[in-house]
Structure 1
Amino acid sequence: MQKYMDFINKTVPKVLTQVDRDRHSPTYGCCDRNFWHLKIRDFSSAILQQTGLSIALLTTVPYPGNVFYGREDVKDWARASVYYWEKIQLKDGSFNEYYPFEHGFPPTAFSLYSSCETYKRLNMDEPKLTEAFSRTGKYLASHRETEAYNQEMASITALYSLYTITKENWVLSAVNRKLLLLLEVQSEDGFFPEYGGADIGYLSVFFDMMAEYYWMSRDERVLKPLEKILSFLLFFIHPDRTAGGEYGSRNTTYFLPNGLEVMRQLGYPEAEAARDWLFEDADKTGFFMDSVDDRYCSHYLLHSFLRALEKEIQGGATCTEKVVLPFHAGKSTYFSDAGFWSHSEWIERGIPVYMIVGARKGGVLKLYGKGEQVFADFGYRVNYGKGKIAVTNWQDPSYIVKQKGNSLTVSGHFNLVTLKVGSPFLHLGLRAVAFVAGNKIIRFLKKKIILVDKHTDIAFRRKITFQDGVLQIEDEIESPKPVCLEGADSPSVRHVASGKFFSISDLCFHDCKSYGNSKKFYIKKKYDCQSGRFIENEELK
């Protein structure tokens, strides 16, 4: 219980600050501070209305030191958030997140779930709201998300929450139809795709939503998928009590707890082991989720912690079986669908070293020893100027990957990415397009800033070997024209709204040096985990 409470207690004040709590304000209940208070936006981002569920949970979950429990004035804030949600609903039942007239899928799915749950928890009874819920439900029933599957799972959970209110058969039919299509997508590795690959943070969101759906419905069709997700996620919990990162398709570095708590309550000891390890330092400076920004704390993060805490209080299950997490296992595992290679070795008694490689990201890797991250390598960049960068660390299904024993080889071509900068004219144009085309603007923007697969003529080949506590990286880069090669740093150039949160690993040693101008490069690096010694032997051909 304490693990959840520590994070909740330090996060609640900054989340409540985002809410318009003035009952005489025309935006009473709005959870977008940039709109109602700072006036730097001209519409409210509906996805932030999820804060209402966090407030409702604060008033109904009795944990030690909860000064909000049972307070009617605080419940009024939560109720106001649902009324404001109804106020900003578009005619077709959808909502905006980033642009007016956007008709976005994520704000529609996540905010319906949170609004329905708030409505139920506070025993609200308002036909106007249930009519609004049904409009949004019909929108979700007729739309699917097939790139970011955490959003599709959220829509299913939201629809089921709506069903518990209305008991209408069309809602349950939509849940079943969408769920059957969703379950077909799970990979053999256990993950559900996020923009062409596996991503740990967003998979934890999916895990949360699917586990919550099971908790409400007891639908046994999702138990095996939940088990597979759990088994997969365990490999990407790190010795330094962090999870995920640059090797994932969307680079996320957070982990929602509710999925783990549901599985723990169902008697899975590995879920308890993962929970206890990840959230042990929640009360300390440097806890890995302290860098999550206010937006995502207001989004799904805080209410995931509160829902997990509620289940622990109500259930109180404790697993007696002790489980060793994969980084302690002393073995090598390759996930071929995800392109993830995890490798654990014991270099001396009681001290494991653990490496994770993202092969589909060009062989980016993170290395851990003595309970902390000791080394990282994120590939290479060529900077063409004016925001154009060629990179190896791009999620690319065309990379050729071969993994055998203690080595992995990946080869392919650098991808060219143009970093976008906003401007008044650009935003004016986007709004005009959104007014005419509605949610088609989302597909356009995804192609421009997320799903950018443009190969250059610069080829690379990387070989990674790990044996007897020594990591060796051999890179060959060849270009028809001379290029200035640089080591890449940790921030990915793929746009991810919940990415680029600061992490202590940003300070970890990794190669950002310039290798000069040439057509061919051969770069060899070694890291000795026993001594902590790094050796580089650079050779220009």
Structure 2
Amino acid sequence: MRDVFAREVYNNLPRLLSLIDTDDTSESYGLGDRYYWAWGLTDFGNATFQGMAHGLSLLWIGNKWPYETDPQLFLDRIDALFIGTKKLTRLDGSLEEAFPNEGSYCVTALVAFDLLRTYSLLREEINDELAQSWLATIRPLIKYLKNADEHHALISNHLATASAALFCWHELISDVQAFAKAEILLARVLQNQSDEGWFVEYGGADPGYESLCLHYLTDIYRSNPDERLRRAIENSMSFLSYCMHPDGSFSGNYGNRYTRFIYPSSFYKFRGEISYAEKFLAPISESISNNAVVSLSCIDEPNFIPLFNSYCMALTSYDKFSEIIPENAEKLPCNSELNFTKIFPSAGLLFDKGDRHYTVVALKRGGAFYHFVDGYLKNKCLGLIIKKNTKEIYCNHHSSSINFDKQNNTITIESDFRKQKKRLPKPWQFFILRLACMTMFRIRLVREIIKSFLVWLLISQRESGVGSNTRIIKLGENLSVKDNLSIPKKFIQIQPKQAVVPIHMASKGYWQIQDEN
């Protein structure tokens, strides 16, 4: 299994190292966003790339570094990333990934966390002067995390990232304010955790980002063991266990953010402690090896660094455990000997397992489904589409009524069609955005109000529906689906060739091998 992560990490390491500007005579020395410092096609630097220092340091300290690199050269490269971070830090201590003066709470937290863990890993390798310089780079980021907050949506993985960063800082500096804010953010994540086990992502459950949330919650638990947090992590893994499919895929169009990736680190960190974590180990490795999930090699650069760090963490965790998983190890629900029908009402998900089949139904998505037989995807329907013209396309991912007839093993779902929120940016919109970046966005309150508006416009807005569909699904190995479609005149139904994603979401659409079938 180690070979899977080693292959992914080492194959992508040259690409990662190529991102850094190592020219110490350059104004952009230490920056990791090539689109900014090399191509010059944007007017700000995405700070997320600076967090690669964490993964690089894990490889170095864990004796997994594949090159014969001079130690001083390696430390100079890490120091360059700290220097680059300082250049990107705004006066209020914030960083950005989307636009100038964004004040991104998430990215500020992500970089602070990764640099703090880098500091801890390499502290014995550097002198006191350099150590103080690194802490001085991180300090403004922590100040921002203490003073600001994220209110445009409840995004659990963002809050977990900030909490982890603040706990790390307190661990090093004994900052009681940082500790208090970390506790507040963690409490918000845990208090909003569903009774079904999942953490909230824009109002719903998203397995992909849930695994990222666990990445940070696991770090918090390792530094601050707490039984409530452990139970929360265990409940989350229990929920996620249903989202691994017989063909090796994970999640899909039924997640609230439509993601199909999985961050492996938490499952390997909790190996031997949480039974659900143990169940994931062999399937994750096999899925990555077979390209059955979105792997590090498939991810684009804006999401590359957090997944790289998670893979490095999984790779360097192996030395603590035997690589052999016992043959009698517990299996994930999709591969278990038990037959069941499991419903998560709040998440809007139904999982049906038989002797030969495994079916996932998105109850809140008009009955979109995946149906696996003998370990392979036999049938799927990821949304019905109607259109009025080329610009007005509507999807039925909005259920109005759900009824499960347990006796007859059927589901009846009423849904309507709502206009897709996908749109491409126009030059005039960028012009207005940049004017706002140079003026209004310097005021935090105004900036946060506009962020909330954009989330509502692109993700959470609920427009009135047109037409309707009644879907009746008969569960079982020979799954049957019957639709009764009613649409207005001038509308026609179209058959999408691939998965339907009706909202704006940057992390959608990454390739995996099932897309070739």
TM-score, scaled relative to structure 1: 0.86
Aligned amino acid, residue 269 of structure 2: V
Q: How far apart, CA to CA, are the structure 1 residues paired with 2:232 and 2:68? A: 36
Please say if 1:193 is aligned against 2:197: no
Q: Quick check: which one's helix share is greater?
A: 2
Partner of 2:118: 118
Matched-pair contact (CA < 8 Å) for 1:243–1:255: yes
Please say if 1:166 is aligned against 2:176: no
Task: Tell me how far 1:69 sits from its aligned partner.
Answer: 7.2
Q: Quick check: which one's strand share is greater?
A: 1
Matched-pair contact (CA < 8 Å) for 1:382–1:390: yes
Q: How far apart, CA to CA, are the structure 2 residues paired with 1:435 and 1:362? A: 43
Alignment partner of 2:436 out of 424, 433, 436: 433
Task: Tell me how far 1:84 sits from its aligned partner.
Answer: 0.9
Q: How far apart, CA to CA, are the structure 2 residues paired with 1:383 and 1:21? A: 51
Alignment partner of 1:492 out of 498, 501, 512: 501
Deviation digits for residues 409-440 of structure 1 (CA, Å, limit 9, x no counterpart): 22132111243122222111112223333233
Alignment partner of 1:456 out of 461, 465, 481: 465
Task: Tell me how far 1:182 sits from its aligned partner.
Answer: 2.0
Partner of 1:257: 264
Please say if 1:271 is aligned against 2:277: yes
Aligned amino acid, residue 75 of structure 2: K
Task: Tell me how far 1:365 sits from its aligned partner.
Answer: 0.9
Partner of 1:407: 410
Alignment partner of 1:293 out of 284, 291, 299: 299
Please say if 1:392 is aligned against 2:396: yes
Matches within 5 A, 1:81-160: 81-123=81-123, 125-141=130-146, 142-145=148-151, 146-160=153-167
3-state SS, counterpart of residue 455 of structure 1: coil
Alignment size in residue pairs: 497
TM-score, scaled relative to structure 2: 0.90
Aligned amino acid, residue 435 of structure 2: A
Task: Tell me how far 1:403 sits from its aligned partner.
Answer: 2.5
Partner of 2:26: 25
Partner of 1:525: none
Please say if 1:42 is aligned against 2:51: no
Percent sequence identity over aligned pairs: 23
Alignment partner of 2:419 out of 416, 419, 436: 416
Deviation digits for residues 448-492 of structure 1 (CA, Å, limit 9, x no counterpart): 22223212221222121112x111111122234342012343040
Aligned amino acid, residue 12 of structure 1: L
Cα–Cα, structure 1 residues 220 and 7, in superposed 2: closer, same or farther, change >3 Å?
same
Matched-pair contact (CA < 8 Å) for 1:62–1:69: no
Q: How far apart, CA to CA, are the structure 2 residues paired with 1:265 and 1:30? A: 39
Aligned amino acid, residue 294 of structure 1: D
Cα–Cα, structure 1 residues 273 and 454, in superposed 2: closer, same or farther, change >3 Å?
same
Deviation digits for residues 87-116 of structure 1 (CA, Å, limit 9, x no counterpart): 211111111111111111221121111111
Alignment partner of 1:370 out of 353, 370, 374: 374
Task: Tell me how far 1:272 sits from its aligned partner.
Answer: 2.2
Matched-pair contact (CA < 8 Å) for 2:357–2:374: yes
Cα–Cα, structure 1 residues 157 and 290, in superposed 2: closer, same or farther, change >3 Å?
closer
Matched-pair contact (CA < 8 Å) for 1:465–1:473: yes
Cα–Cα, structure 1 residues 8 and 67, in superposed 2: closer, same or farther, change >3 Å?
same
Task: Tell me how far 1:214 sits from its aligned partner.
Answer: 0.8
Partner of 1:213: 220
Matches within 5 A, 1:242-391: 242-266=249-273, 268-284=274-290, 288-289=294-295, 292-296=298-302, 298-314=304-320, 316=322, 320=326, 322-328=329-335, 329-346=338-355, 352-385=356-389, 387-391=391-395
Cα–Cα, structure 1 residues 138 and 316, in superposed 2: closer, same or farther, change >3 Å?
farther
Larger displacement relative to structure 2 (427-436 or 88-97): 427-436
Partner of 1:533: none
Matched-pair contact (CA < 8 Å) for 1:457–1:480: yes
Please say if 1:72 is aligned against 2:72: yes
Cα–Cα, structure 1 residues 167 and 367, in superposed 2: closer, same or farther, change >3 Å?
same
Cα–Cα, structure 1 residues 16 and 491, in superposed 2: closer, same or farther, change >3 Å?
farther
Cα–Cα, structure 1 residues 315 and 290, in superposed 2: closer, same or farther, change >3 Å?
closer
Please say if 1:62 is aligned against 2:68: no
Deviation digits for residues 63-82 of structure 1 (CA, Å, limit 9, x no counterpart): 3x722677331232122112
Matched-pair contact (CA < 8 Å) for 2:410–2:472: yes
Aligned amino acid, residue 336 of structure 1: P
Q: How far apart, CA to CA, are the structure 2 residues paired with 1:227 and 1:70? A: 42
The alignment yields a C-alpha RMSD, in angstroms, of 2.2
Q: How far apart, CA to CA, are the structure 2 residues paired with 1:220 and 1:112? A: 26
Deviation digits for residues 243-301 of structure 1 (CA, Å, limit 9, x no counterpart): 011111111010000111122142x3432221211212544566642563231553200
3-state SS, counterpart of residue 51 of structure 1: helix
Cα–Cα, structure 1 residues 41 and 309, in superposed 2: closer, same or farther, change >3 Å?
same
Task: Tell me how far 1:215 sits from its aligned partner.
Answer: 1.6
Q: How far apart, CA to CA, are the structure 2 residues paired with 1:50 and 1:387? A: 39
Q: How far apart, CA to CA, are the structure 2 residues paired with 1:342 and 1:68? A: 49
Matched-pair contact (CA < 8 Å) for 1:387–1:420: no
Task: Tell me how far 1:164 sits from its aligned partner.
Answer: 2.0
Q: How far apart, CA to CA, are the structure 2 residues paired with 1:297 and 1:103? A: 18
Please say if 1:471 is aligned against 2:479: yes
Q: How far apart, CA to CA, are the structure 2 residues paired with 1:149 and 1:287? A: 22
Matched-pair contact (CA < 8 Å) for 1:189–1:228: yes
Partner of 2:53: 52
Q: How far apart, CA to CA, are the structure 2 residues paired with 1:338 and 1:184? A: 16
Cα–Cα, structure 1 residues 369 and 421, in superposed 2: closer, same or farther, change >3 Å?
same
Q: How far apart, CA to CA, are the structure 1 residues paired with 2:325 and 2:170? A: 33
Aligned amino acid, residue 195 of structure 1: Y
Task: Tell me how far 1:404 sits from its aligned partner.
Answer: 3.7
Q: How far apart, CA to CA, are the structure 2 residues paired with 1:418 and 1:174? A: 35
Larger displacement relative to structure 2 (331-340 or 272-281): 272-281
Larger displacement relative to structure 2 (206-215 or 415-424): 415-424
Matched-pair contact (CA < 8 Å) for 1:54–1:306: yes
Cα–Cα, structure 1 residues 323 and 212, in superposed 2: closer, same or farther, change >3 Å?
same
Q: How far apart, CA to CA, are the structure 1 residues paired with 2:50 and 2:362? A: 35
Task: Tell me how far 1:221 sits from its aligned partner.
Answer: 2.8
Cα–Cα, structure 1 residues 17 and 287, in superposed 2: closer, same or farther, change >3 Å?
farther
Q: How far apart, CA to CA, are the structure 1 residues paired with 2:218 and 2:324? A: 18
Aligned amino acid, residue 31 of structure 1: G
Task: Tell me how far 1:135 sits from its aligned partner.
Answer: 2.6
Q: How far apart, CA to CA, are the structure 1 residues paired with 2:54 and 2:77? A: 10
Deviation digits for residues 292-329 of structure 1 (CA, Å, limit 9, x no counterpart): 32315532001001112222224558765511211123
Deviation digits for residues 324-352 of structure 1 (CA, Å, limit 9, x no counterpart): 21112322111111011111111xxxxx3
3-state SS, counterpart of residue 144 of structure 1: coil
